[in-house]
């Protein structure tokens, strides 16, 4: 399985890059 970048994940999940970054940094999405 290839590594996905924040942009790939954001596009696939239809969310913003900041949301993905927050998620990976242990933050919570309201």
- C-alpha to C-alpha distance for 1 and 25, rounded to whole angstroms: 22
Max CA distance (Å), the chain:
29
Q: 10 with 20: CB under 8 angstroms? A: yes
- pLDDT at position 29: 55
pLDDT in tens, 1-30: 577 787 777 777 777 777 777 777 776 655
């Amino acid at each position: 399985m290839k590594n996905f970048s924040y942009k790939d994940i954001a596009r696939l999940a239809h969310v913003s890059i900041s949301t993905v970054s927050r998620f990976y940094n242990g933050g919570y999405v309201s």
